Amino acid sequence: MAGLRKRRARRQQALRWVVVTLFAVLFLLPLIAMFEFTTRDGWDTWRVFFNWKALGETYPILWTGMKASFWLVLLSVALTLVLLVPTVVWVRLRLPRLRRVVEFVSLLPLTVPAVVLVVGLAPVYAWVVYFVGGSSVTLFLAYTVLALPFAYRAIDAGLSAIDVRTLSEAARSLGSSWATVMWRVVLPNIRSAVLSAAFLTVALVLGEFTIASLLNRDNIQVAINQLGKSSATMSVAVSLAALVLAFALLFLLSFAGRRRNRERKTS
């Protein structure tokens, strides 16, 4: 039995190395190709890329796109968390019968492709333009819809790991207000879940193209696409930087998620 298990472990390890190596090659090949592509005619592309002033002057689209994406990330994360965290906690505590409804609604955007949503968003955005203007930054209102399913799952998983009801009843019976319960009791307990919801929203907003492009707004992806028509090397360089950045972001997130699991195990 033990020999059998050892043999199987060895076989699994061999398989793991073969598959993971193949995967790594396939994952890295485009990245290496992108790097080679951008450095084929010297390092000028990267020199411009890291000199932000020159970058803004040479490629104004890129600069506006980056600025817009920066604000979009901040505002989308803020709106997603402000909208979702209190609602999900509140529903768990006070309105358990609405839980299925909130879950259904939050996961609904998965069945509405972004390209479909944009068709229906056009008239809504006519009103947005009327009230607050046509800036690209207003896209965060639409991006929050796209982020809902992922953020909901993360927050819901975090809340399932703790006993919200007991915690909040304890705090309430000691005389704290609902705001205190939310801010000082529930939130610190689901910190890593909130963090992971925020990370997922960041990644989603940085990668969004469909809505921005079809509503004629600017963001980093639209800029990359525009740039591809005039300066292929620069657009590939920005793509590479974006992919590496997103990878670093998610790699960090994997540590946050693990820590949560360990906490749960020890408690």
Residue 1 interacts with other proteins (CB under 8 A)? yes
CA distance 184 to 203: 28
CA dihedral of residues 142, 146, 150, 156 (deg, nearest 10) = 50
The single residue among 203, 217, 218, 260 that binds other proteins, judged by CB under 8 A, is 203
**Within the chain, how many helices (H) and strands (E) appear?**
14, 0
Closest approach of other proteins to the CB of residue 160, in Å: 12
Interaction between residue 54 and other proteins (CB under 8 A): no
Residue type, 214: L
- Using DSSP's 3-state secondary structure scheme, residue 69 falls into helix
The SS3 assignment for 42 reads coil
Write out the binding residues for other proteins, residues 121-160 only, by CB under 8 A.
121-124, 141-142, 144-145, 148
For other proteins, which is the closer residue by CB, 127 or 188? 127
Torsion of the alpha carbons at 230, 233, 235 and 237, rounded to the nearest 10: -160
Which residues inside 207-236 make contact with other proteins, applying CB under 8 A? 207-210, 213-214, 221, 224-225, 228, 232, 235-236
Closer CB to other proteins, residue 53 or residue 267? 267
Nearer to other proteins (CB atom), residue 87 or residue 176 = 87
To other proteins, the closest distance from the beta carbon of 191 in angstroms equals 20
Q: Which of the residues 74 through 113 are near other proteins (CB under 8 A)?
A: 83-84, 86-87, 90-91, 94-95, 98, 102, 105, 108-113
Answer for which of 78, 114, 157, 256 binds other proteins (CB under 8 A) is 114
C-beta separation of 155 from 88 below 8 A? yes
Which H or E run contains 19? helix 2-39
